[in-house]
Amino acid sequence: MQEILSNLQQWQARGDETALATVTWTAGSTPRTIGAKMAINSRGEFVGSVSGGCVEGAVIDEARQVIRTGRPKLVSYGISDDMAWDVGLACGGSIRVFIEKVQS
């Protein structure tokens, strides 16, 4: 968490707008637990992880929209364990991620 806070402060100091994504719910096999966090800035840079790499790109896109609009979002991602292996992912399961703009 310290790394995330440090990056948020550095990004805001240089004028970037920022968002924080937090895992709020999980089901099945997931690489990260409830409370896992990822910080994203308006440039698309990020630190932390909400899924171990499976959905970070999608979360970054959603976070950049949250930064633009100022409206928080709750997004869901999921895939069955059987399908996960078919598409090359090591885990299945489902997660919900709350994304909010961080005010400086």
Give 21-49 pLDDT, tens digit per residue.
Answer: 999 999 888 889 999 999 999 999 999 99
Given a contact cutoff of 8 angstroms between Cβ atoms, the answer to whether 39 and 75 are in contact is no
Which carries the bigger pLDDT value, residue 84 or residue 19?
19
Using an 8 Å Cβ cutoff, are 45 and 24 in contact? no
The predicted pLDDT at position 31 comes to 85
**Mean predicted lDDT score pLDDT of the chain:** 88
Model's pTM, two decimal places?
0.88
**Residue 87: what pLDDT?**
39
- Residues contacting 36, CB < 8 A, separation 6+: 22, 23, 48, 49, 50
Segments making up each domain of the chain, as ranges? 2-102
| Region of 44 on the Ramachandran plot (φ > 0 left; ψ -120 to 50 alpha; else beta) | left
